[in-house]
Amino acid sequence: MSESQVVSKALASGFMFDAKAFDLISKLPPDFDVDALIDKVLEKKRNATSAQSRSITEEDLRSLLPSDSSNEIESEMLASAADEAVDVQVLSDPTQAIAPLEANEGYSSLFRDRYARLLSVVKKRPDMRSVAGTSAGRSLREGQRVKIAGLLSTRTNRRTSVDLTLDDLGGTLKVVCQDEGVMKSAMEAPLDCMVVVDASRSRTGQLFANSLALPDIPDRKPTGTSHRVYAALISDLHIGSRMFLAEDFQRFVQWLNGKLGDGDVVGRIKYLVIAGDLVDGVGVYPGQESQLSEFDPKKQFAAAAKFLEQVPSRIQIIVSPGNHDPVRQALPQPAVSPDMAELLYRMENVRWVGDPAYVKLHGVTFLIYHGRSLDDVIATTPDLSYGKPATAMKLLLKSRHLAPTYGKRTALSPELRDYLVVDPVPEVLHCGHVHTYDELMYRGTLVVNSGTWQAQTMLQSNMGLEPTPSVIPIVDLSSLSVIRRNFGAVGFAGG
């Protein structure tokens, strides 16, 4: 029976196939008795009373398929994915470039480089090509206006104004914000990030801000690859913690191997990107030892290898470190060393990078960053919360910097170059750290926080942080659309 005859038979009985059901029919073996299967489905559907019973779904067909036929279809889907070669290009990895300088000289170099690179970013905007430095503000006369770019060094929130100090290579400049909208923008801008102020001088000699803007990313359409391949994004496994959800993660691994159905999705996955905290580490926070099932970081990585070696070899795994992994805490972080994760380094389908790292997957640019600075951004910016980390990540994109604020929880290394400037603009920004799943599309960039595989810890409970574990995004690299899957204890379910 041809596919058109199948559709006609269903339509004649008042039913129709959804897209996934039709795709499944097309993948059945040539000698399979499709006519008998459709008769069984139609009989079952006629006895159904729900409002959705007029549509024949993939689940309707699978419930009546012999297990061997279902397995054959899954195998066909996985085999077709294996024919698509992986395409990984590491564009930027700080691991080999890290070279800290003496503190005073190093931080001076770091912020000079930050200023120069962000100024270059700003001047690419059509509305900011004539932007000037702080010296232009100091020489401004009454009634004149000028756009001034500088790093936001101080901010004082007063009853009727917000007072700012901008800093650049030529010195400092004080600007007062009194307009309600400008005050709001000033309070949302992270300290030490670049801001552009449209300033004018009053009769009293005071500089006032008529507007305030961040460097931001250009507005563009989402662009993907011509190949319909997928990337699964995860982070914060915390293997070695007693709260690691091993059963959930094992369910995820089984799913990747085609043992839990969903073959049309599984078969297209070519990449697994891990954005930090693969293991729980040791001594990361006070009292952590009481939460550990394994106290040796090397053994934690060995346990991680036992899980990841079950991932099909056709899937390329990219691993970046986080603040729990045994590397330096200051950003940027190098990749985990081979002597610490020997078994994982032996795996041919595992690629290690530092934090942050730019990686192209099938031509789609990913910026992989664990997200340590999200703590600072959420703590210091009105209306941000751990429950919506993608909004905080959007602010980092608008600032064009992954960790703008110096001197808070996020340690920055005194480097000659600032590796945390967001340039180029990625198609996908992937973070973790806050253990809360979230996603949004901002100006053509997909922003994803991939949550966690760890249940709520005592520290999180004390902070009032509710994680969303075992929910993962799968990104279609052709459209940058996201498919969610839940591998939690309630049972495998589509998102």
Structure tokens at 76: 């066909």
Nearest Cα residue to 213 out of 186, 191, 190, 177: 186
> How much is the pLDDT for 495?
43
Token duo for residue 215: 């460097």
Q: State the pLDDT at residue 493.
A: 47
Which pLDDT value is given to residue 82?
A: 57
CATH entry, 88-96+220-494, from 3.40.640.10, 3.40.50.300, 3.60.21.50, 3.40.470.10: 3.60.21.50
Domain with CATH 3.60.21.50 in the chain: 88-96+220-494
Ranges 83-87, 138-142, 296-300, 358-362: which has the least confidence: 83-87
Q: Does residue 31 register a pLDDT over 80? A: no
pLDDT at 77: 56
Q: Inform me whether the pLDDT recorded for 71 exceeds 80.
A: no
Higher local confidence (pLDDT), 421 or 288: 421
The shares of helix, strand and coil residues in the chain, as percent rounded to the nearest 5, are 30, 25, 45
Highest mean pLDDT among 14-23, 425-434, 480-489: 425-434
Taking residue 341's Cβ as centre, other Cβ atoms within 10 Å add up to: 26
Residues 189, 195, 198, 200, Cα dihedral to 10°: 90
Q: Using only the alpha carbons of the chain, give its radius of gyration.
A: 26
Rounded Cα gap, residues 276 and 451, in angstroms:
11
Residue 494, pLDDT above cutoff 50: no
**pLDDT of 181 strictly over 80:** yes
- Burial tier of 139 (Cβ tally within 10 Å: 0-12, 13-18, 19+): exposed
Determine the average pLDDT of the residues in 360-365.
97
Q: Report how far residue 440's alpha carbon sits from residue 423's, in angstroms, rounded to the nearest whole number.
A: 20
Please list the residue range(s) of the chain that carry CATH number 1.10.8. 3-65
Q: How confident is the model over 353-382, as a mean pLDDT? A: 97
Burial class (CB in 10 A: 0-12, 13-18, 19+), 39: middle
- For all residues of the chain together, what is the average pLDDT? 91
State pTM to two decimals.
0.84
CA separation for the pair 271, 88 (Å, rounded):
9
* pLDDT at 261 (0 to 100): 86
Between 99 and 59, the higher pLDDT residue: 99
Tell me the per-residue pLDDT of 237-271, one tens digit each, with 9 for 90 and over. Answer: 999 999 999 999 999 999 999 999 888 899 999 99
Across the range 213-232, mean pLDDT stands at 94
Q: Residue range 96-120: average pLDDT?
A: 94
**DSSP string of 375-423?**
HHHHHHSTT--TT-HHHHHHHHHHHTBSS---SSSS-B---SS-TTB--
| Out of 29-33, 124-128, 332-336, 435-439, least confident range | 29-33
- CATH code, residues 3-65: 1.10.8
> 103-213 in CATH: which number?
2.40.50.140
Higher pLDDT, 117 or 18: 117
Which pLDDT value is given to residue 174? 96
- 10 against 207, higher pLDDT: 207
Range in 50-64, 209-223, 229-243, 396-410 with the lowest mean pLDDT: 50-64
User: For 173-177, what is the mean pLDDT?
Assistant: 97
pLDDT attached to residue 186: 97
Domain with CATH 2.40.50.140 in the chain: 103-213
